[in-house]
Structure 1
Amino acid sequence: MIYLAGIHMSYAQSIEVLVSASTILTFTTIAAQQRKMLAKSEKEGGEIIASPTTLVGRLVTPLHAIPTIATPVLYLAGVFSNKMQQPEWYTRSALDIPMNAQMKSWTRIAAALGFVATIWWHSAIMKALGKQLHYIAPRKNGEVVSSGPFSVIRHPIYIMALVQLGLLSVAYWSWFPLISMVVCASAFVYKIPVEEQLIEQTESMGPAYLQYKKKVPYRIIPYIW
């Protein structure tokens, strides 16, 4: 048993508390960062000047946003409704990796801390984006961003989202986040060309973005794609 803040809990419960806390901290911090930057973008970046014209193009952002949000909500709902223990229905999704209990716990903790570390990754992306932020469309006063994470890959926030889901799969010790990862990856494969085409079609950013693509040829994975 572990005694924490006046509460007795088992070792297993303490792991779920740590993982839950890291989940809540990371998502609330990133959400706050995005709200702040989105408000700045709407004020300084100007109105949206191009948007997807097809139904799939308009739905692709919600398509990857929903599983990204549903993944932690499902886990948190499970453990909070079951006295900070994974309920039986959630444990059915456990990763089938041979590992003793102690090693498994430390691996989950490391993944949870790695998930928290993505706050700084996200912050660097937001700082580089500045007034450009939108979930798919270019803005009137937008400029091509080629600094920070964008100097390595063109869509760093998408690879960050996939890495986060991978970390959550280990932290939750579940393959549920891997399903979300596959859905998101599929959505990104479709979304990236749509997003880039919208930018290339704008008079103010198109030529500069084409040059940027030559300078930074990788979309989300350096030297691969």
Structure 2
Amino acid sequence: MYKLTWKDQSFMSFLHYMFTLYFYKLPPRIELITKLLKQHWSNYLADKHKQSYDQALSSMAGIFIRRGDKMPEDSFWSRHKHWRNISLYVKAVVDEEIRRKENFTSIFVMTDDVEAMQSIMQYSSLPSSPSSTELFAQKHLRGRQILYNVYAPQACFNPFTRIGYDQFLVNINFLVRYATFIVGHTDSNVGQFLEEIIYSRTQLTPHVPTQTYVKNAPDTF
């Protein structure tokens, strides 16, 4: 049996990179909804913060939380028999803010879990509850501008329906185009795709470590 050499692996990586870079094309309807979503939030944030339209999304982070039927694929679930809590995703955002010495002005949330989305929205607008198990998330999301796909039912996506899958693609496209930092999980094929497409688009850009990239949500504090 033929065994791949490092040259074979390097060439395969190159082909994968070229495919990701040049063949990542979405249907016109997805591009249109992404544009409308960008216009919606840019107008909203520009009016709210009295800033220019072009600067409204200039420092946006993204959080990707995939739950649903992904238990067998999730290493955290396999070890602990429950999902990562929201605080672990938020910790990755806060750690990056400390590293960059700047705050993200907004956070776009992409998830298939209605409860997770509702919790994040509540944490950003309601006072902290001492009895909560998500004190870190409540503390650091309080007052944050949470963005989401306003065209998706319940602000979430369901990849098993046509409209849900379309909005899933819109979310992906929105994050790739406008997020300056994304927290996800590499156990997910979507998380891996985000890493690959963003890397392929930015690897030749000067100072890429300070620009858009994807980080795996931590397992512990």
Look at both structures and tell me which one has the larger radius of gyration over its CA atoms.
1
Asked if these proteins are the same fold (TM beyond 0.5), I'd say: no
Q: TM-score, normalised by structure 2?
A: 0.23
- Choose between structure 1 and 2 for higher RCO, CA contacts under 8 A separated by at least 6 residues: 1
TM-score where L is the length of structure 1: 0.23
Relative to total residues, which structure has the larger helix share, 1 or 2?
Answer: 1
